[in-house]
Chains A and B, each alone.
Chain A
Amino acid sequence: MAEGPKRRLLLLIALLVGCVIVVVFQLLKVQVVDHQFYKNWAREQQVRAVTMDKPPRGVIRDRDGRLLAGNGVRYAVEAAPAYVVDKEGAAVKLASVLHLPASHVEDLLSSRDENEELRKWVPIAPSVSRETGEQVLDEDIKGITVRPLWKRRYPEGTLASHTLGFSTMITGYYGIEGFYDEMLRPKEVEWVAPVDVASVPIPWQPIAGELPRRGVDLELTVDRTVQALVEEELRRAVWEYEAEGGTIIVMDPDTFEILGMASLPAYDPERYTEFVDQDSPPFEDPAISKQYEPGSVFKILTMAAALDSGIVTPGMTYVDQGWIEVGGQTIHNASGKVYGESTMADILIESLNVGAAWLSKRMGPDLFYRYIQEFGIGERTGVDLAGEVSGQLWLPDDVEHWHPSNLGTNSFGHGVAVTPLQMVTAVATVVNDGVRLQPRVVGRRIAPDGAVSVHQRLVMERVISSEAASHLCEMLVRAVEEGATLASVDGYRVGGKTGTAQIPIPGGYDPNDTIATFVGFGPVPDPKLVVLVKLDRPQTSPWASRTAAPTFQRLTSRLFTALAIPPSEDGLVAEVGR
């Protein structure tokens, strides 16, 4: 080859090799050195995290499977203004369906961001009914999306509102909704998938590793019929006795299952937003979250401790002088009377403060407070409801708060604070042969795969002997038959105790108002129900025997009928053969 072409060829080869080196270098940089950077960049554009349709929250049913909290459907109407071609036409159509001013909708559809570009997403109506949502869908307007939403629904309205609590779209608060929130919540699945330019998933991998799962369903121990009767009688009592509010709890003493529990004032859990701005919203359940001085119903526990410890026997008597001195403080009977020689049963029948203080004084602080604590006073019962408080019980080792006179006043329920649930649990312990169980509201849990978990009864401890419990129950039956006669139920033997307590205020006690309580059970000898009735500040009479006791009588007689609990032999009208 001639010298000239050869040189030119070499030059060309050198040029090409140089180019190849540059290209190879660049390839190495892109493919090897900056590999991760470009890989991530590409992935960011190709792949999006897509949340699959959200499954529903677990539902709540009563013990017979009747729905108390479920899930309805609402729709959110939203727009992507950039994709809405005929904004004026779309605004007119949407306005007529959503009952909004057309100009307002058109403004939304034309709204721009800070860069003067049409917004990518605008909410038009955040929550509309299913019918309205379907009407919008039927209009088939380009750029308008209708997204389904779950809305918590309570088909029974205000029934059991405090027990259920309420739920927003995401979180449950108070009651069952609050306590079991984690369990009730559905399991959402975020699915990382390849998308097209409009961020619509490309179905290469249609099945995520895990599908979204609905929440766990709960079946309560609450009976809807019992609950309805409880609420009806509570409303009647609050109205009839002009009380400020009140609480009723119905418990099964064999299992400590709560069959019904209501407090007033109540609220509609579906309309919880209407109550949020109130000074004291009615969301907290007074049955577990508000403590009060129980008054004379506490004498049941004092007597139980005295009988079980052997300090006294059922047949023993004492001389009631109308007063007793404990820790430097003189205690009188509420009636101001002197009762002379009195039996143990008389302490409960006549509700003698002096007798109760005499018992606690004989027991001494160590023994007395040991029993009171074993009955669960001063600690949470452990019920499966959100917001339970522990009450207030000062003990002798708390030198700052406890005074020796507390031993006397505590014996008849003063200077000690309990929740209604603590009180009914303590009395149910006596009725249950002296064994305390943990009260509960949820009976069964049903997982999304159908697996059922049954809540077993949880024995806390034996507080008093079976014999002491039996003697005390008989005394409490006499307390109704000879004392609080307005609580007696025709055809049934029931037991119970009234309690009229003053209300502590700064500097002493409210001179005018009281809290009236009655805790009773029946039918004896095999009680199926323990019922606590508490009325706050009744105006027609301050006495529990005239307010809470008759409420107990009305409610219990209806409950016995509703639950098909037969009367004792002498209550039967006739015996028929078949």
Chain B
Amino acid sequence: MSDFLAWVTHGVKRKRFEMDSRSAVVLSVVVATLTGVMALYLIVISRNAARGRHIEELQADIFRLQRENQQLVVEIAEESAVSRVRERAQALGFAPAQEIEFVVGSE
């Protein structure tokens, strides 16, 4: 013990720590309750985080699918554009009609 501590403590009587069984039970219950609450809190928080991450992934999937969908819509439109249809029709041997004859159908 250092001189300083001896200077401070000499002459001061230290009381022995004692706890009765009732207090011990109460303390145990309090500690157990606090531990339980903390455990529950951690479980809820981790589940919340996991679900949050899952939802984030789903959102990312939605955006990715939305992008792919838009891209496909554009590609389909390009394939069926007037100029493309005309090219294909000409390649298949079709030509613009020269003389059109109209007929009227009756029931």
A binding-site residues for B, Cβ under 8 Å: 1-2, 4-5, 8-9, 12, 52-53, 55-56, 59, 66-67, 70-73, 130, 148, 150, 153, 155-157, 159, 201-207, 214, 224-225, 228, 491, 561, 566-567, 571-578
Contact A9 B12 (CB under 8 A): yes
B18 to nearest A CB, angstroms?
Answer: 23
The distance from the CB of A137 to the nearest CB of chain B, in whole angstroms, is 12
Let me know if B103 and A2 touch, CB within 8 A.
Answer: no
In the complex the two chains form, is B55's CB within 8 Å of A203's CB?
Answer: yes
Instruction: For A573, give its contact among B11, B53, B59, B103 (CB under 8 Å).
Output: B103
Kindly state whether residue B80 has any CB partner on chain A within 8 Å: yes
Q: Distance (Å) between the CB of A329 and the closest chain B CB?
A: 50
Binds A, one of B26-34, B35-43, B69-77: B69-77
How far is it, in angstroms, between the C-alpha of A123 and the C-alpha of B74 when the chains are bound? 27
Question: Quick one: given A12-B8, A155-B74, A206-B53, are A578 and B107 in contact (CB under 8 Å)?
Answer: yes
Q: Are A225 and B82 in contact (CB under 8 A)?
A: yes
Residue of B nearest to A203 (CB): B52
B52 contacts A574, CB within 8 Å?
no
B74 touches A573 (CB 8 A): no
Interface string of B45-72 (1 = CB under 8 A from A): 0001101110110011001001110110
| 20 A-B residue pairs with CB within 8 Å | A1-B11, A52-B59, A53-B63, A55-B66, A59-B73, A67-B73, A67-B74, A67-B76, A73-B67, A73-B71, A155-B74, A156-B82, A203-B52, A203-B53, A206-B51, A214-B66, A225-B82, A567-B102, A574-B101, A578-B107
A156 near B52 with CB under 8 A, answer no
- Residue from A2, A153, A207 within 8 A of B55 (CB atoms): A207
Contacts of B101 in A (CB 8 A): 573-574
Point out the residues of chain A lying under 8 angstroms from B105, CB to CB: 576-578
- The residue in chain B whose Cβ has the minimal distance to the Cβ of A202 is B49
Q: Give CA–CA (A572, B77) in the complex, Å.
A: 37
* B82:A228 contact, CB within 8 angstroms: yes
Cβ A571 vs Cβ B53 within 8 A: no
Q: How far is the CA of A574 from the CA of B104 in the complex (A)?
A: 7
Given B71, B76, B80, B106, which contacts A578 in the complex, CB threshold below 8 Å?
B106
- Chain A residues whose CB sits within 8 angstroms of the CB of B7 once the complex forms: 8
Contact between chains at A148 and B77 (CB < 8 Å): no
The residues of A that contact B12 with a CB separation of less than 8 Å are 5, 9
B89 on the A face (CB < 8 A): no
Q: Tell me which residues across on chain B come within 8 A of A130, comparing CB atoms.
A: 71
Q: Interface size on B (CB < 8 Å)? A: 38
Are B103's CB and A576's CB within 8 A? yes
Whether A572 contacts B103 by the Cβ 8 Å rule is yes
Give the interface SS of chain B, mostly helix, strand, loop or mixed: helix
- What 15 additional pairs, Cβ within 8 angstroms, besides A73-B70, A577-B106? A5-B10, A67-B76, A71-B74, A72-B70, A72-B71, A73-B71, A156-B83, A159-B83, A203-B51, A206-B53, A561-B97, A567-B102, A574-B101, A574-B103, A575-B104
Contacts of A66 in B (CB 8 A): 77, 80
Kindly state the separation between the CA atoms of A575 and B104 in the bound complex, as whole angstroms.
5
Query: For B81, what are the chain A residues with a Cβ–Cβ distance below 8 Å?
Result: 155-157, 159
Chain A positions within 8 Å of B73 at CB level: 59, 67, 70
Asked if B78 is at the interface of the complex by the 8 Å CB criterion, the answer is yes
| Docked complex Cα distance between A203 and B105 (Å) | 68
CA distance A8 to B105 in the complex (A): 123
Give Cα distance in the complex from A56 to B73, angstroms: 12
Q: Cα distance A567–B102 when bound, in Å? A: 8
Name the A residues within 8 Å of B19 (CB-CB): none
**CB atoms of A157 and B83 under 8 A apart:** yes
Complex contacts, B55 vs chain A, CB 8 Å: 203, 206-207
Please determine whether A70 and B77 come into contact, CB atoms closer than 8 angstroms: yes
- Which B residues lie within 8 Å of A207 (CB)? 55
B25 on the interface (CB 8 Å rule)? Answer: no
Interface centre among B56, B102, B107 (most CB of A within 10 A): B102
- Distance to closest chain B CB from A128 (angstroms): 14
- Tell whether, in the assembled complex, residue A224 and residue B53 are in contact, meaning their CB atoms are under 8 Å apart: no
User: Which residues of the other chain, B, contact A71 by a CB distance below 8 angstroms?
Assistant: 70-71, 74
Question: Assuming A130-B71, A203-B52, A228-B82, is B77 touching A571 (CB within 8 A)?
Answer: no
Residues of A within 8 A of B91 (CB): none
Interface residue B100 (Cβ < 8 Å from any Cβ of A): yes
Nearest chain B CB to A9 CB, angstrom units: 7
Using Cβ atoms and an 8 Å threshold, which residues of chain A touch B52?
203-206
| Cα-based distance from A5 to B10 in the complex (angstroms) | 7
Interface centre among B56, B80, B104, B105 (most CB of A within 10 A): B104
Instruction: Quote the shortest CB–CB distance from B65 to chain A (angstroms).
Output: 11
| Bound CA span A491–B100, Å | 11
Partner of B56, one of A67, A156, A206, A561: A206
Cβ of A566: which chain B residues have Cβ within 8 Å of it?
A: 102, 104
- For the complex formed, measure the closest distance between the CB of A205 and the CB atoms of chain B, giving whole angstroms: 7
Report the 3 A-B pairs with minimum CB-CB distance, sorted nearest first: A203-B52, A5-B11, A155-B77
Given the complex of chains A and B, what is the CA–CA distance between A67 and B75 in angstroms?
A: 10
- Shortest distance between the CB of A193 and any CB in chain B (Å): 10
Question: Which of B8, B55, B70 has the most CB atoms of chain A within a 10 A radius of its CB?
Answer: B70
Shortest distance from the beta carbon of A113 to any chain B beta carbon, whole Å: 31
Which residues of chain A are within 8 angstroms of B67 by Cβ–Cβ distance?
A: 56, 73, 148, 150
Question: Considering the chains assembled together, what is the distance between the CA atoms of A572 and B106 in angstroms?
Answer: 13
- Pairwise interchain contact B70-A56, C-beta atoms closer than 8 A: yes
A67 to B69, CA, bound (A): 13
A571 contact from B56, B59, B63, B102, Cβ within 8 A: B102
Complex Cα spacing A573 to B100, Å? 10
**Cβ A573 vs Cβ B102 within 8 A:** yes
What residues of A have a CB within 8 angstroms of the CB of B66 in the complex? Answer: 55-56, 214
| Smallest CB separation, A83 vs chain B (Å) | 21
Residues of chain B contacted by A571 (CB below 8 angstroms): 102
B60 touches A53 (CB 8 A): yes
Please give the distance in Å from B54's CB to the nearest CB on chain A: 8
Query: Which A residues lie within 8 Å of B82 (CB)?
Result: 156, 159, 224-225, 228
